[in-house]
Amino acid sequence: MEIPDKDSSGPRPRVEFEMRYPRAVSYYLSDTQIALMTAYPPHGHISGRRLESGRGPRKEIAMKIQVTGATGTVGSEVVKALLQRGAEVRALTRKQPEPVKSSDAVEITWGDLSDPVSVTQAMVGVDKLFLLIGNVADEFTQALTAYGLAKKAGLKHVTYLSVYQADRFLDVPHFAAKHAVEEAIREGGVPYTILRPGYFMQNDRRLKPLLTGPGVYPVPLGNQGIAVVDVRDIAEAAAISLTEEGHAGKTYDLVSSEMLSGPGAAAIWSRLLGKDVKYAGHGDFDAFEAQLRKTGNPSWLAYDLRVMFQGYVERGFSHTESQTARFAALLGREPGKYSSYAEELTKQWTS
């Protein structure tokens, strides 16, 4: 679960305007942006329309895949993982950034998931969909709208990003919404894959001021340990589900073998930073909710996150070895660990 956060040289950008209301804008990423997205080498060798990899030949993947939330923490990694597999990517974004230099790697389409007209236009020519809805108050409506339009457009597959144990935390608004969307997708008739990730390791990169300054780990994770996941592993799983056969009708729990507790996180950061980092505790969720509002979170989101973390503490959010093993089998390797990610962050912060 995620906690909410130009290149002027060369030829003129390719821009397509649809003059009906609302306007759909399509353009392409710059070579610099593509270089960032493809910073890691492909997992296999692309030859013609077949991709050979260490896991054996894959089926043809010359298709266009739309990614919602493509500029966010998970979506941007999904775009990168799909490009590594030779897929054509259309990135859907609510923002309309400045036009950029032409490139054929990623097509950017403007659209608002709360506006069915713009989403319908954005789906023209798309084969499959990675459906991610961020932390918004109307998450359920946006997700069902996007799914319904994908079905109407005849898309071949939808991979939906849900949340781990969505069915156990129905008092948490965004968990309940995702669980309801899961059920609608299972009954909807379009081939699907549902991904259920744990708490995002990347949420903690925002903690640099507190960790390197006063030495406080503030996230109320509790003492038992919760399921976590590296968003790059989420992206890898999504790309696999969209470019390989055998994943239709499957639901995958995306969890690392290493669970994370508040005291455990503080110990990791104390070791890596060479200073005393203390866990702030989890004894006052009223104060936690108030602090979330004070720091600029919408009131509805502050409540949502408060109920989520309180649920983690009171009911647990752990995983089993079999769940991690199944995730590892999907990836073809062991999922990343929080301790390793923390080491990466430490190097970035101290370089």
Query: In the prediction, which pLDDT does 204 show?
Result: 97
Q: How far apart are CA 70 and CA 78, in angstroms?
A: 8
Higher pLDDT, 151 or 93: 151
Neighbours of 219 (CB within 10 A): 22
* Residue in 259, 253, 258, 249 with CA at minimum distance from that of residue 330: 253
| Enclosing H/E stretch for 69 | none
Residue 193 in domain: yes
Query: In the prediction, which pLDDT does 46 show?
Result: 27
Query: In the prediction, which pLDDT does 32 show?
Result: 32
Residue 7 in domain: no
Residue 142 tokens, joined: 């946006």
As for how many domains the chain has, the answer is 1
Query: In the prediction, which pLDDT does 95 show?
Result: 67
pTM attached to this predicted model: 0.82
Residue 201 in domain: yes
Mean pLDDT of all residues in 187-214: 97
At position 74, the amino acid (one-letter code) is V
For the segment 35-81, what is each residue's pLDDT rounded down to a tens digit?
A: 333 333 333 322 223 333 444 444 444 689 999 999 899 999 999 99
CB of 163 closer than 8 Å to CB of 130: no
Mean pLDDT of all residues in 241-248: 97
Q: How far apart are CA 45 and CA 41, in angstroms?
A: 10
Residue 3 in domain: no
Residue 160 in domain: yes
Domain hosting 174: range is 16-350
CB of 161 closer than 8 Å to CB of 195: yes
For the segment 18-33, what is each residue's pLDDT rounded down to a tens digit?
A: 222 232 323 333 333 3
Residue 252 in domain: yes
Query: In the prediction, which pLDDT does 60 show?
Result: 45
Alpha-carbon separation of residue 260 from 229, 339, 343 (angstroms): 10, 9, 15
Domain containing 129 — which CATH number? 3.40.50.720
Alpha-carbon separation of residue 337 from 110, 259, 260, 261, 346 (angstroms): 35, 8, 10, 13, 14
Residue 5 in domain: no
Residue 8 in domain: no
Percent of the chain residues topping a pLDDT of 70: 79
Give me the phi and psi of 73, to 5 degrees please.
-60, -50
